[in-house]
Amino acid sequence: MSKAHLYLLALLLTAVGLSLFLYKTLVLHFPLAPRAEVDIWNVEAKITFQALNEPVKVSLFIPRSTRHHAIMNDAFISRGYGLSTAADDLNRQAVWTIRKARGQQSLYYRAEARSVEIKEPRAPGKPPKITKPVFAGPEEMAAASLVADIRSRSADTDSMVAELIRLLNQPRPDDNITLLLAKQTGESGRMDLAAQILALAGVPARVVHGIRLQEPTEKATLVHWLEVYGQKEWRPYNPVSGTAGIPENYMTWWRGPGPLVRLTGGEKLQLTLSVSRDQEAGIKSAVVRGQIKKPLLVKFSLFSLPIHSQQVYRVLLMVPVGAFLMVVLRNVVGLSAFGTFMPVLIALAFRETQLLAGVILFSLIVGLGLLIRFYLERLKLLVVPRLAAVLIVVVLLMACFSVLGHKVGLERGLSVALFPMVIMTMTIERMSIVWEERGPGEAMKQGIGSIAAAALIYVVIHNREVQHLFFVFPELLLVLLAGTILLGRYSGYRLFELFRFRGLVKGRA
Amino acid sequence: MFGIARKLTEMGIMGINRRNAEFTLLHNPRRLYPLVDDKLRTKEIAIREGIPVPELYVVVQREHQVRDLAAWLAPYGEFVVKPAHGKGGDGILVIDGRANGRYRLASGRLITQEELNHHVFSILSGLYSLGGQPDQALMEYRVHPDPVFEALSFQGVPDIRIIVFRGVPAMAMLRLPTRASDGKANLHQGALGAGVDLATGITLGAVWRQELIGEHPDTGEKISGVQVPHWETLLTMAARGYELSGLGYLGVDLVLDRDRGPLLLELNARPGLAIQMANGSGLLRRLQLIEELHPTLNGLAERVAFARSRFGNIY
């Protein structure tokens, strides 16, 4: 293979990659940097279930525009299903129906939520009617005494709601509340109960369910809070502190009792809500500015994928970047590390834990694992059982760290579980072998090399600009490929070799 | 930084990238690697070609054979245990005798039959092999180093590494065990590398742990100026490694036995670069000269003569 061939190939790849990139930036005006202020979010609900070969009906509450969020561009994806949407005073609902369906079914709802702030006061509505909840026997007494309690300890609606929520959220609630909560579960149950108690006290209240628009996530969790009618409007109350007002990034999904999704004619119902930043919005407006029809390039870009897959690709596209950095670190710098691409995987794991916590956790687990490995060495085990034993210990260690971290109140402790444990096991094994054969110095050198490489790669692939660049312009990977191919024939010195051979230069001088 | 790089280029010092890109990748076909990576096959071919090697006593290929190991080893008082696919001297045990039903290591430590068996198991399971493949364990003749090197080595057996390019010896180094290397002759394990003048077989300066030194760190003996015996034979054996293996760029490891003379130890398809430091000289010029002139060289004798005439250091 001649060098000319190589250069030609690299040139070709670079040309194709760069021209696509330039076309998209200069002609289509795709944004080069992520927009600093995100005020548009993509929200998606994915419903999956097993149909039982009979008529299927799925109803799902869908969000409606509120004073904080405008819901735009509803989209429903459902093959062969009839779809109708309906709205009442409180909610909007989508209903999918089909005469007969069999096997795994997936339905999607997607919309854009744009943050808005409506300042002008809402036209005062009629005060809502209160439907008194029905409690029976001992529960009625408990509810009545709870109402008396909060009444006596409060001065107005605000303080009454605060007191009620404080009582409900106590780690060890009193007997009355325990009795009342027996039938309710979770935060949603507590809020339901709160609404009922307030109704009993003559204060109109309802539960609101929603999600937080804060970080892109593939599994958004529902949050529940309370809305109480007073001073001629519905006012939200924080579900934890009980104070009036909720964070702005809480987006209302539906109000009132009842589950988010209902299904007849199927089983194994599952619902996932995902949230992503809408990068495409900027691109869309760019396309509109350019006064052209949506070109094929956009239709067939990564943006056409479901949000869930988009999230995966945001991460996946960073792997080649990490691999390229490894090529540079190894062949140009001469850094020694365990495993060819292990630092890349470690860097991906750092995404979950953040850098500092990640480095500390990694060093702790590998360090402790090494101790165990040295002990196992004395037992003279065969290779595969020994590796399996180290793996088991690694998983146990990770579990311990998670539990300890959780007890201390560190969220990070939980995400350690996503560390690639097989990689860690192999690291421990390699490190201990290097330790024995080349001495602790060499083992530490390679260990530190691995962590340094992982940290550097983390900093690069965690950078939002880099992520944006490769997600919006995946053709840049071709340029990366060209660079990698060229480095594949790099025959110059490595940076560390200059250090290694420097004695020769001195000897001469 | 660039100053160092420029000086190294001037000296013709070869870096790992260049070795890989321009020599091993171009001149060493992948399919030939198994031959040199497997010490057993290397040994078989060398014997077929009439090149002397340390005699093979026992081969353990399967786990169940370890049961019979004690009986198989009974006739031999001293021997060396090696993984067939070992790299860089890892996994080698030198047994130099027995005491109280135990094996005595060269370092003086005694190990039981059980410990030896475990070591063999480790070898079989691939602990020391390239890429962790299941491996075979070889037990072979223990070399007694030529007394010439006695003052220059701390335990263990010194060996001679010769880089051979297209059948022409290009550079040579005497690898001397030190206390730090635990009797092993591999540089990265702490052995000392002394450059050897290709023309005469006389040692030059030495490198130890990336540093240029003049005396052996354990014995205090001056390293330069020692004549390596059988030099012509050693060079010829190394040059024959080319035909033996088919590898264009090759490291040949030889030992000098007190009784049996030069023996071929192993061949290496990716020889290291520290030899340049030991010789205080770069490989690249020599390799380029060979590349240019090798078509004019006919036969083994001419190749060796060419190396001796062109690659002698000014002593």
Classify the complex by whether its ipTM is higher than 0.85, answering yes or no. Answer: no
Looking at mean pLDDT, say which of A411-415, B86-90, B217-221 comes out highest: B217-221
User: What is the residue-wise DSSP string for A67-91?
Assistant: SSEEEEEEEEE-TT-EEEEEE-SS-
CB contacts of A340 in chain B (<8 Å) are: none
What separation, in Å, do the N-terminal and C-terminal C-alpha atoms of chain A show?
39
The Cβ of residue A118 has, within 10 Å, a number of other Cβ atoms equal to: 11
* Residue A165: Cβ within 10 Å count: 23
What kind of architecture, by CATH, is found in domain A137-255? Roll (3.10)
- List strands edge to edge, sheet with A205-212: A233-237, A223-230, A205-212, A250-255
Write down the pLDDT at residue B170: 95
Higher pLDDT, A362 or A287: A362
Are A492 and B15 inside 8 Å of each other by CB? yes
Closest by Cβ to B212, choosing from A489, A500, A503 = A503
In eight-state DSSP terms, residue A260 is: S
Long-range contacts of the stretch A118-124 (C-beta < 8 A, 24+): A118/A67, A118/A68, A121/A233, A122/A67, A122/A233, A124/A232, A124/A233
- Range A428-447 average pLDDT: 82
A231 vs A94, more confident:
A94
Q: Whole-angstrom Cα distance, residue A500 to residue B209? A: 10
Minimal CA separation from A341 to chain B, in Å: 15
**A497 and B189: CB-CB below 8 Å?**
no
pLDDT category at A280 given cuts 50, 70, 90 is low
- pLDDT (average), residues A103-117: 79
Most confident of A81-95, A133-147, A228-242, A295-309: A81-95
- Residue B315 domain-assigned (yes or no): no
* Percent of chain A topping pLDDT 90: 11
CA nearest to B200, candidates B228, B240, B167, B162: B228
A168's CB contacts (< 8 A; 6+ apart) are A177, A181, A190, A193, A194
The pLDDT value recorded for residue A486 is 92
Whether B210 sits inside 8 A of A384 (CB atoms) is: no
- pLDDT category, A289, cuts 50, 70, 90? very low
d(CA A135, CA A128): 21
Chain B residues near residue A508 by CB distance under 8 angstroms: 7, 11, 280
Which pLDDT score, from 0 to 100, does residue A291 have?
40
Query: Does B212 lie at the interface with A, CB-CB under 8 angstroms?
Result: yes
Residue of B nearest to A383 (CA): B125
CB of B200 less than 8 A from some CB of A: no
Closest partner residue to B7 among A384, A495, A505, by Cβ? A505
Q: Residue A288: what pLDDT? A: 46
For position A38, what pLDDT does the model report? 53
Higher model confidence: residue A205 or residue B171?
B171
Computed over its alpha carbons, how large is the radius of gyration of chain A? 29
Q: Which residues of B touch A493 (CB under 8 A)?
A: 5, 8, 13, 15, 17
Q: Does B289 touch chain A (CB under 8 A)?
A: no
> Within this chain, do residues B28 and B67 fall inside the same structural domain, yes or no?
no
Chain A residues in contact with B11 by the CB 8 A cut-off are 504-505, 508
> Which chain A residues have a beta carbon less than 8 Å from that of B207?
503
Say yes or no: B223 and B126 in one domain: no
pLDDT of residue B194: 93
Please judge whether A494 and B276 are an interchain contact, meaning their C-beta atoms are less than 8 angstroms apart: no
Percent of chain B at pLDDT above 70?
A: 98
Q: Give the pLDDT score at A137.
A: 76
Q: What is the CATH number of domain A40-121+259-280?
A: 2.60.40.2250
* Alpha carbon distance A272, A255 (integer Å): 19
Q: What was the pLDDT predicted at A146?
A: 78
> A with B: how many residue pairs have Cβ under 8 Å apart?
77
Say if the Cβ atoms of A334 and B118 lie within 8 Å. no
Q: Which of B270, B285, B277, B282 is nearest to B20 (CA)?
A: B270
Question: A49 and A263 in contact (C-beta within 8 Å)?
Answer: yes
Number of CB atoms found within 10 A of residue A230's CB: 17
The pLDDT of B130-158, averaged and rounded, is 86
Residue B80: closest CA among B68, B99, B100, B97? B97
Residues 133-192 of B with CB under 8 A from A: 188-189
Distance (Å) from the alpha carbon of B47 to chain A's nearest alpha carbon: 31
d(CA A78, CA B264): 73
Q: Among the three residues B125, B140, B155, which one is the final residue of a domain in this structure?
A: B140
CB-CB neighbors (< 8 A) of B7 in chain A: 505, 508
**Cα–Cα distance measured from residue A256 to residue A205, given in angstroms and rounded to the nearest whole number:** 9
- Encode pLDDT of B164-186 as tens digits: 999 999 999 999 988 887 777 77
Strands B93-99 and B79-83: antiparallel
Q: How many residues does chain B have?
A: 315
**A228: helix, strand or coil:** strand
- Which contiguous run of DSSP H or E holds residue A186? helix A186-200
Q: pLDDT tens digits, residue range A47-82?
A: 888 888 888 888 888 888 777 777 777 788 777 788
Residue whose pair of structure tokens reads 């995987």 in the numeric block: A345
Give the Cα-Cα-Cα angle B157, B84, B274 (nearest 5 degrees).
50
What rounded mean pLDDT belongs to chain B? 89
Q: Which two tokens stand for residue B245?
A: 């293996």
CB contact under 8 A, B122 and A383: yes
Contact A498 B276 (CB under 8 A): no
Of residues A182 and A120, more confidently modeled? A182
- Does the residue B93 lie in any domain? yes
Among residues B92, B124, B140, the one where a domain terminates is B140
pLDDT confidence bin for B129, thresholds 50/70/90: confident
- Pair B209, B283 in one domain: yes
Residue of B7, B17, B113, B208 to mutate, testing the A interface (most A Cβ within 10 Å of its Cβ): B17
Question: Which range among A396-400, B2-6, B226-230 has the greatest average pLDDT?
Answer: B226-230
| pLDDT reported for residue A357 | 81
B240 and B136 within one domain: no
Same domain flag for B97 and B176: no
**Sheet holding B102-105: strands in order across?**
B56-60, B137-140, B79-83, B93-99, B102-105, B110-111
Residue that is last in its domain, among B140, B167, B198 = B140
Question: Where exactly are the structural domains of chain A?
Answer: 40-121+259-280, 137-255, 312-499
Residues in Cβ contact with A267 at an 8 Å cutoff, skipping those fewer than 6 apart: A49, A50, A52
Q: What angle do CA A48, A53, A58 make, to 5 degrees?
A: 40
The pLDDT tens digits of the residues spanning B31-68 come to 998 888 899 999 999 999 999 999 999 999 998 999 99
pLDDT at residue B82 in the model: 92
- CA-closest candidate to residue A286, choices A19, A26, A17, A16: A26
* A498 vs B4, B22, B118: nearest CB: B4
pLDDT given for residue B4 in this prediction: 84
Name the residue range of residue B259's domain.
2-50+145-310
**With an 8 Å Cβ cutoff, is B210 touching chain A?**
yes
Backbone angles phi, psi at A54, to 5 degrees: -150, 175
The domain tally of chain B equals 2
Find the CB nearest B18 among A433, A491, A507.
A491
CA dist A230 and A247 (Å) reads: 20
Would you state the pLDDT for residue A10? 93
Return mean pLDDT, chain A: 79
* Domain of residue B22, CATH code: 3.30.470.20
Token code pair at residue A490: 């790099």
Q: B257-313 pLDDT, tens per residue?
A: 999 999 999 999 989 898 998 998 899 999 999 999 988 988 999 999 999 999 886
* One-character DSSP codes across A444-482: HHHHHHHHHHHHHHHHHHT-HHHHHHHHH-TTHHHHHHH
Most confident of A37-51, A359-373, B227-241: B227-241
Distance from CA of A329 to the nearest CA of B (A): 13
> Which helix (H) or strand (E) element contains residue A333?
none
Helix, strand, coil % over all residues of chain B, rounded to 5: 40, 25, 35
Tens digit of pLDDT for each residue in B3-25? 888 888 888 899 999 999 889 98
The conformation of residue B14, written as its DSSP 8-state character, comes to P
Q: Which residue has the tokens 């602990």?
A: B127
